Amino acid sequence: ALELFGVERSGEALAVAAGNAGRILDKSSFKFTQCDILEPSNWAQFSLVDLIISNPPYIPISEKDLLPEHVFAHEPEQALFVNDADPLVFYRTIAAFALQKLQTGGMLFFECNEFNARQVLSDLQTAGFRSVILKKDLAGADRMIRAIRD
């Protein structure tokens, strides 16, 4: 049986994610946990998995005033924006989490900021993932990365 779980740092983002999932999935098929994934001491609660899909915050906070209003309409700000000083913190940390929690051959998928996607790809290769590929979105921007754990 397929088991799904979601992890969010903020309660507000958790409520949005659970609501979205509830519209397309049977509520008994998934579980959501509020957890700061950036804190490795929180990782022990999770078992091995076959697939991790992450859309971490990736918009630099300095770009907030440049974005149209609709960007904020459906997501809490904490789910969208990352500190300019370390915009790849979520990618590095979730990759380290994936190396511990993905089964051998398990896949990691990231949605990325088009301006950082190639660095994320390189970092995943350096970390030891294989078959790391970058895909473009419908607008032609680098957007999605897939990596496989050896």
Instruction: Give the 3-state secondary structure of residue 38.
Output: coil
Q: Which amino acid is at 126?
A: T
Output the domain CATH number for residue 67: 3.40.50.150
For 79-120, the pLDDT digits (tens) are 899 999 999 999 999 999 999 999 999 999 999 999 999 999
- Sign for the pseudo-dihedral over CA of 33, 91, 86, 111: negative
Using DSSP bridges, classify how beta strands 49-54 and 59-60 pair: parallel, antiparallel or unpaired. Answer: unpaired
Structural domain of 63: 4-148
With bands split at pLDDT 50, 70 and 90, how would you rate the model's confidence at 58? very high
d(C-alpha 100, C-alpha 37), whole Å: 13
Q: Which two tokens stand for residue 70?
A: 């609709």
DSSP annotation string for 106-133: EEEEEE--TTTHHHHHHHHHHHT-EEEE
Q: How confident is the model at residue 135 (pLDDT cuts 50, 70, 90)?
A: very high
Total number of domains in the chain: 1
